[in-house]
Amino acid sequence: MLLTLPWRLTPLQPYLGKTWGLEESSAALLISEINMVVIPRGPSQAKGLLLASIRDQNPVFFFEPKWLYQAAAEEVPVADYELPLSKAEILQSGSDVTVLGYGSQIQILRQACEMAQSELGVSCELIDLRTILPWDEDTVIQSVCKTGRLVVSHEAPLTAGFGAELAATVQAECFNHLEAPIQRVCGWDTPFPLIFEPFYIPNKVRCFDAIRTVVDY
């Protein structure tokens, strides 16, 4: 007689190395046997996604942006609630550019979208993936088919970063709808000391420049 039991694995892994040192290893897990990789952007979202991860029947890796431990402050509901895994969230509807990210980079992208609206009159549709494996292809593809442009941003280096997978999929599925080449705004492909981290992480100015590039193409 065989006895099968559900296996629930939700390791918590902060994806900043030391307190201010970035070390994003989420992309490496995408080629492993792990079924899901979840990265929240803030405390209240983290609770809902974490509860959903614990109760899911599949192994889940749950990354916590370490800077949120000290920098993020928001009210988290006491009640029990879950947020759907593998379902992206449209934080801001727009018609000109799709802006895509996850984790702590969402806060930077939100600022860049505000700059694009105020300085260029560009309407950005901001999407938080929340789960990067498996990611919500349908929501992203529908958005890009509507806007015709895509900017992807994450803290990991450009080379072999998850943004390459996102760009490749969108290029294949939305080729006839694209009005400009897809832009990726990522960390630099170079080692760096901790003191230079502010120059390494993609900031709102770099993200804003990418938005302007796809609009002006």
The predicted model gives 137-149 an average pLDDT of 98
Residue 90 pLDDT > 90: yes
Residue 5 pLDDT > 50: no
Q: Please report the pLDDT score of residue 24 as a whole number.
A: 59
Average the pLDDT over each of 90-94, 198-202, 211-215 and give the range with the smallest value: 198-202
Please name the CATH architecture into which domain 89-216 falls.
3-Layer(aba) Sandwich (3.40)
Domain boundaries, the chain: 12-71, 89-216
Residue 21 pLDDT > 60: no
- Higher-confidence residue of 19 and 160: namely 160
- Higher-confidence residue of 56 and 144: namely 144
Burial of 165 (0-12, 13-18, 19+ CB in 10 A): middle
Rounded-to-integer distance, Cα 86 and Cα 74, Å:
24
- Please report which helix (H) or strand (E) contains residue 147, including its range: helix 137-147
Tens-place pLDDT, residues 157-171: 999 899 999 999 999
Residue 100 pLDDT > 90: yes
Strands 124-128 and 89-92: antiparallel
Q: Please report the pLDDT score of residue 23 as a whole number.
A: 47
List C-alpha distances in Å: 81 to 20, 37, 45, 60.
Answer: 31, 19, 10, 18
Q: How many CB atoms lie within 10 A of CB 84?
A: 13
Could you tell me what percent of the chain has a pLDDT over 70? 82
Predicted TM-score (pTM) of this structure: 0.89
- Higher-confidence residue of 24 and 64: namely 64
